[in-house]
A = this chain, B = another copy of it.
Amino acid sequence: MSETGVLESQPALVGGIDLGGTKIEAIVTDEGHHVLGSARHPTPTEGGPADVANAMAAALTEAAKGASVEPAQLRGVGVGSPGVVDSRAGTVSQADNLPGWIASFPLAAALQSALGTRIALGNDVSVATAAEFELGAGRPYRSLLGVFWGTGVGGGLVLDGTPWHGRGGAGEIGHTVIRVGGRRCPCGRRGCLEAYAGRAAMEARARRLRDRGVKTILFELAAEHGRDRLTSGIWERALEHGDRVATRLIDRAVDALGVGIASAVNLLDVEAVVIGGGLGVRFGEPYRARIVAAMLPHLFNDSRPPAVLLAALGDLGGAYGATLLVG
Per-residue interface assignment for chain A, residues 250 to 294, with 1 indicating a CB less than 8 Å from any chain B CB and 0 otherwise? 000001100100111011111100000000000000000000000
In the bound assembly, the distance between CA atoms of A259 and B300 in angstroms comes to 18
Per-residue interface assignment for chain A, residues 14 to 49, with 1 indicating a CB less than 8 Å from any chain B CB and 0 otherwise? 000000000000000000000000000000000000
Per-residue interface assignment for chain A, residues 179 to 193, with 1 indicating a CB less than 8 Å from any chain B CB and 0 otherwise? 110000001010000
**Is A11 in the interface zone, CB < 8 Å from B?**
no
- Chain B residue numbers with a CB within 8 Å of A157 are 267-268
A145: nearest chain-B partner, CB-CB: B267
- Chain B residue numbers with a CB within 8 Å of A225 are none
The reply to whether A189 and B269 contact each other, CB–CB distance below 8 Å, is no
- Chain B residue numbers with a CB within 8 Å of A264 are 267
User: How many identical subunits does the complex contain?
Assistant: 2
Per-residue interface assignment for chain A, residues 289 to 308, with 1 indicating a CB less than 8 Å from any chain B CB and 0 otherwise? 00000000110110010000
Tell me if A's interface is mostly helix, strand, loop or mixed.
loop
In the bound assembly, the distance between CA atoms of A67 and B298 in angstroms comes to 46
The answer to whether residues A176 and B269 also contact, given A169-B304, A301-B169 and a CB cut-off of 8 A, is no
**Is A116 in the interface zone, CB < 8 Å from B?**
no
In the bound assembly, the distance between CA atoms of A143 and B157 in angstroms comes to 15
**Is A171 in the interface zone, CB < 8 Å from B?**
yes
- Chain B residue numbers with a CB within 8 Å of A248 are none
Interface residues on A, range: 35 or more
**Is A164 in the interface zone, CB < 8 Å from B?**
yes
The reply to whether A269 and B168 contact each other, CB–CB distance below 8 Å, is yes
- Chain B residue numbers with a CB within 8 Å of A271 are 166-167
The reply to whether B298 and A170 contact each other, CB–CB distance below 8 Å, is no
- Chain B residue numbers with a CB within 8 Å of A170 are 267-269
The reply to whether A300 and B267 contact each other, CB–CB distance below 8 Å, is no
The answer to whether residues A176 and B266 also contact, given A143-B166, A169-B304, A300-B169 and a CB cut-off of 8 A, is yes
- Chain B residue numbers with a CB within 8 Å of A249 are none
In the bound assembly, the distance between CA atoms of A172 and B299 in angstroms comes to 10
**Is A178 in the interface zone, CB < 8 Å from B?**
yes
A170: nearest chain-B partner, CB-CB: B269
Minimum distance in angstroms from A160 CB to a CB of chain B: 8
The answer to whether residues A166 and B300 also contact, given A177-B259, A263-B175 and a CB cut-off of 8 A, is no
In the bound assembly, the distance between CA atoms of A171 and B266 in angstroms comes to 7
- Chain B residue numbers with a CB within 8 Å of A304 are 167, 169
Partner of A172, one of B160, B165, B267: B267
Pairs A–B under 8 Å by Cβ, sample size 21? A143-B166, A155-B267, A157-B267, A159-B164, A166-B269, A166-B270, A166-B271, A169-B269, A169-B301, A170-B269, A171-B267, A171-B269, A172-B266, A175-B263, A175-B266, A175-B300, A177-B262, A179-B179, A180-B255, A263-B263, A267-B268
Chain A interface residues (CB < 8 Å from chain B): 143, 155, 157, 159-160, 164-173, 175-180, 187, 189, 255-256, 259, 262-264, 266-271, 297-298, 300-301, 304
A180-B259, A263-B263 given; name 4 further pairs at CB < 8 Å.
A167-B269, A167-B304, A173-B267, A267-B267
